Amino acid sequence: MTRLDLGIPGLRRDPAAPPSTVGRPDVPGLVDRFGRQARDLRVSITEKCSLRCTYCMPEAGLPAIARDDLLSAVEIARLVHIAVRDLGVHDIRFTGGEPLMRADLAEILARSSAVAGGASISMTTNGIGLDHRIRELVDAGLTRINISLDTVDRDHFARLTRRDRLPAVFAGIRAAKEAGLTPLKINAVLMRDTLAGAADLLAWSLENGVRLRFIEQMPLDADEAWARDNMVDAAELLDVLGGRFELSRPHRDDPSAPAEEWLVDGGPATVGVIASVTRSFCEACDRTRITAEGTVRSCLFGDEETDLRGLLRGGADDRDIADRWRAAMWVKQAGHGMGRTDFVRPKRSMGAIGG
Ligand code: SAM
Ligand code: SF4
The better pLDDT of the pair 262, 337 is held by: 262
> Which residues, judged by CB distance below 6 Å to any ligand atom, belong to the binding site of ligand 2?
49, 51-53, 56-57, 96-98, 126, 148, 350-351
Burial class (CB in 10 A: 0-12, 13-18, 19+), 18: buried
Q: Could you tell me the distance, in angstroms and rounded to a whole number, from the CA of residue 328 to the centre of ligand 2? A: 27
Query: Is the CB of 127 within 6 Å of ligand 1?
Result: no
End-to-end CA distance of the chain: 23
What integer pLDDT is reported at residue 2 of this predicted model? 38
What integer pLDDT is reported at residue 258 of this predicted model? 77
Torsions phi, psi for 186 (to 5 deg): -110, 125
Q: Report residue 12's pLDDT band, with 50, 70 and 90 as the boundaries.
A: very low
Q: What is the pLDDT of residues 92-128, one digit of tens each?
A: 999 999 999 999 999 999 999 999 998 999 999 999 9
Q: Which atom of ligand 2 is nearest to the CA of 96?
A: 8
Q: Which numeric CATH code is attached to 42-353?
A: 3.20.20.70
The answer to whether residue 1 scores a pLDDT higher than 50 is no
Q: Helix, strand, or coil here: 214?
A: strand
User: Which of 239, 28, 54 has the alpha carbon at shortest distance from 150?
Assistant: 54
Query: Is the CB of 288 within 6 Å of ligand 1?
Result: no
Q: Could you tell me the distance, in angstroms and rounded to a whole number, from the CA of residue 341 to the centre of ligand 1? A: 25
Contact residues for 338 (Cβ-Cβ < 8 A; gap 6+): 218, 219, 228, 277, 280, 301
Q: Could you tell me the distance, in angstroms and rounded to a whole number, from the CA of residue 350 to the centre of ligand 1? A: 7
The answer to whether residue 251 scores a pLDDT higher than 80 is no
The answer to whether residue 219 scores a pLDDT higher than 50 is yes
The better pLDDT of the pair 353, 91 is held by: 91
The answer to whether residue 13 scores a pLDDT higher than 60 is no
**Closest Cα to atom 4, ligand 2: which residue?**
53
The average pLDDT across 62-84 equals 97
Q: Could you tell me the distance, in angstroms and rounded to a whole number, from the CA of residue 185 to the centre of ligand 2? A: 16
Contact residues for 193 (Cβ-Cβ < 8 A; gap 6+): 156, 160
- Of 6, 8, 48, 49, the one to substitute when testing ligand 2's pocket (max ligand atoms within 8 A of C-beta) is 49
Q: What is the pLDDT of residues 303-329, one digit of tens each?
A: 889 999 999 999 999 999 999 999 999
- Of 46, 51, 123, the one to substitute when testing ligand 2's pocket (max ligand atoms within 8 A of C-beta) is 51
The answer to whether residue 342 scores a pLDDT higher than 80 is no
Q: Helix, strand, or coil here: 46?
A: coil
The better pLDDT of the pair 108, 340 is held by: 108
User: Which of 299, 352, 353 has the alpha carbon at shortest distance from 19?
Assistant: 299
What integer pLDDT is reported at residue 223 of this predicted model? 84
The average pLDDT across 213-232 equals 88
**Closest Cα to atom 12, ligand 1: which residue?**
355
Q: Do the strands 247-248 and 259-264 form a parallel or antiparallel pair, or are they unpaired?
A: antiparallel
What share of the chain in percent tops pLDDT 90?
75
- Of 163, 187, 190, the one to substitute when testing ligand 1's pocket (max ligand atoms within 8 A of C-beta) is 187
Distance CA 73, CA 285 (A): 27
- Of 48, 93, 124, 147, the one to substitute when testing ligand 1's pocket (max ligand atoms within 8 A of C-beta) is 124
The answer to whether residue 90 scores a pLDDT higher than 80 is yes
Q: Could you tell me the distance, in angstroms and rounded to a whole number, from the CA of residue 5 to the centre of ligand 1? A: 19
Q: What is the pLDDT of residues 193-208, one digit of tens each?
A: 889 999 999 999 999 9
Q: What is the pLDDT of residues 122-178, one digit of tens each?
A: 999 999 999 999 999 999 999 999 999 999 999 999 999 999 999 999 999 999 999
Contact residues for 342 (Cβ-Cβ < 8 A; gap 6+): none
Return the bridge partners of 352, or none: none
Q: Could you tell me the distance, in angstroms and rounded to a whole number, from the CA of residue 54 to the centre of ligand 2? A: 9
Q: Report residue 10's pLDDT band, with 50, 70 and 90 as the boundaries.
A: very low
Where on the phi/psi map is residue 61: left (φ > 0), alpha (ψ -120 to 50), or beta?
Answer: left
Q: Report residue 253's pLDDT band, with 50, 70 and 90 as the boundaries.
A: low
